[in-house]
């Protein structure tokens, strides 16, 4: 909680628009977030909310104010304290599968951001395809190969349903997608410098 208070003081002393960046449990999303926000550092007061394991692994390594969250209440509390103009979710599509938010709390949080007229953007690791996932797209065998086939099938069905519900909640939110993706056409090559 002390980190939240320090962040509030930081945002109050900087006369810049503030940005809250919430990172899911995937390390790749932190890298994506960092690449996106690093050029904005001089123009905005940026606070990154990280789950415990990512916070511990990166403490002191990032050039931003970082705070640790352990629950959806922590994220909502941070949002209320900072009152940022911008909220970037890396990735809103992973917050439910990662167990950070329930479907219900994701819906409430997004509704709150819309009601408060905040600029909201999310990365989309699924490139807009989350709503069309089928049972064949979900691989649970690698997580627990000992689960019997019927149970695996049912869990895959539930995962597909969950992604469809997430898609409905996030349908109208602008999404950041990796380079080379234009209107979900993945045919372009990455830049040579990559």
Residue whose entry in the numeric block shows the structure tokens 């980190």:
3
Instruction: Give residue 104's region: left, alpha or beta (phi > 0; psi -120 to 50).
Output: alpha
Residue 142 confidence (pLDDT): 66
Q: pLDDT, tens digit, for every residue of 20-50?
A: 999 998 888 998 999 899 998 889 999 999 9
Could you say which DSSP state residue 63 is in?
S
Cα–Cα distance for residue pair 93/104, rounded to 1 Å: 14
| Eight-class DSSP state of 190 | P
The answer for 13, left when phi > 0, alpha when psi is -120 to 50, beta otherwise, is: alpha
Q: How far apart are CA 166 and CA 131, in angstroms?
A: 8
Q: How confident is the model at residue 15 (pLDDT cuts 50, 70, 90)?
A: low
Segment 51-106, tens digit of pLDDT: 999 999 888 888 889 999 999 899 999 999 999 999 999 998 888 888 889 999 99
Contact indicator for 102, 96 with CB cutoff of 8 Å: yes
């Amino acid at each position: 909680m002390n980190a939240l208070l320090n962040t509030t003081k930081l945002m109050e002393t900087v006369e810049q628009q503030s940005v809250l960046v919430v990172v899911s449990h995937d390390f790749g999303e932190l890298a994506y977030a960092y690449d996106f926000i690093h050029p904005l550092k001089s123009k905005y007061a940026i606070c990154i909310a990280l789950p415990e394991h990512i916070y511990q692994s990166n403490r002191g390594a990032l050039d931003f104010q970082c705070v640790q969250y352990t629950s959806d209440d922590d994220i909502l509390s941070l949002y209320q304290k900072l009152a940022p103009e911008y909220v970037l979710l890396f990735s809103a599509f992973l917050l439910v599968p990662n167990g950070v938010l329930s479907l219900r709390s994701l819906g409430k949080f997004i509704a709150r951001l819309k009601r408060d007229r905040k600029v909201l953007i999310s990365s989309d690791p699924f490139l807009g395809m989350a709503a069309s996932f089928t049972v064949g797209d979900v691989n649970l065998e690698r997580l627990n190969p000992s689960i019997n086939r019927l149970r695996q099938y049912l869990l895959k069905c539930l995962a597909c349903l969950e992604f469809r519900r997430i898609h409905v909640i996030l349908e109208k939110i602008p999404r950041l997608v990796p380079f080379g993706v234009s209107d979900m056409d993945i045919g372009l090559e990455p830049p040579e410098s990559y």
